[in-house]
């Protein structure tokens, strides 16, 4: 069923939630792209500093590590929404019944949601602990550790929102993105 032609529930709060889920997933992907550009510029700066000035920023490895972690988690929601998240369809390919496939899809999404929530809870505690204690990295940059962890936490929350939206779309009978069928 298409959201534009569905019931009033699908046009009201459900459509609003699906729009919000899509918006935050795209925002996470845009932020990841900005981080990728920043890392690329940092690598280029490092090349120039080392080649022409025999010096370094001394933080490239650390910042690229934080950037890769942030990019990975910030794009999970967008990858799920667009069908580019890697899925193993061995079981789904064997299920002939639409109801059976729906049940398996919803069970998998719910399991992923619960596991993501557990991991997000861990990161939430770690972010709060590092923020409260003022913990910093043991490098020259002394980056407050709650900052890179917060990016991972935000990415997990975006992924969880997108998992809920995915479950809603399944329940409404909407077709999956091209990469997921």
pLDDT along the chain (181 residues), means of 10: 48 91 98 98 98 96 97 97 84 85 92 98 98 97 97 98 96 67 46
- CA–CA separation, 79 and 125 (whole Å): 26
pLDDT digits (tens, 9 = 90+) for 43-92: 999 999 999 999 999 999 999 999 999 999 999 999 999 988 887 778 77
Look up the pTM and report it.
0.88
Closest CA to 162 of 67, 76, 52, 53: 76
Let me know how long the chain is: 181
Residues 6+ apart with CB under 8 A from 84: 179
| Structural domain spans, the chain | 3-180
Q: How many CB atoms lie within 10 A of CB 68?
A: 14
Q: Could you tell me the maximum CA-CA distance found in the chain, to the nearest angstrom? A: 66
């Amino acid at each position: 069923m298409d959201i534009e032609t569905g019931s009033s529930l699908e046009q009201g709060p459900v459509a609003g939630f699906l729009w919000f889920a899509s918006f935050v997933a795209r925002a996470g992907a845009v932020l990841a792209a900005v981080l990728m550009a920043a890392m690329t510029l940092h690598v280029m700066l490092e090349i120039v500093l080392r080649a022409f000035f025999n010096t370094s920023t001394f933080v490239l490895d650390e910042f690229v590590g934080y950037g890769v972690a942030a990019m990975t988690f910030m794009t999970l929601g967008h990858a799920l929404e667009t069908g580019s998240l890697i899925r193993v369809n061995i079981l789904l390919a064997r299920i002939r019944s639409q109801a059976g496939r729906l049940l398996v899809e919803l069970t998998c999404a719910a399991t992923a949601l619960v596991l993501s929530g557990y991991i997000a809870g861990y990161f939430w505690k770690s972010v709060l602990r590092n923020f409260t204690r003022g913990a910093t990295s043991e490098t020259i940059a002394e980056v407050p550790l709650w900052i890179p962890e917060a990016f991972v936490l935000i990415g997990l929350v975006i992924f969880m929102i997108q998992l809920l939206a995915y479950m809603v779309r399944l329940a409404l009978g909407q077709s999956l993105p091209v990469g997921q069928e």
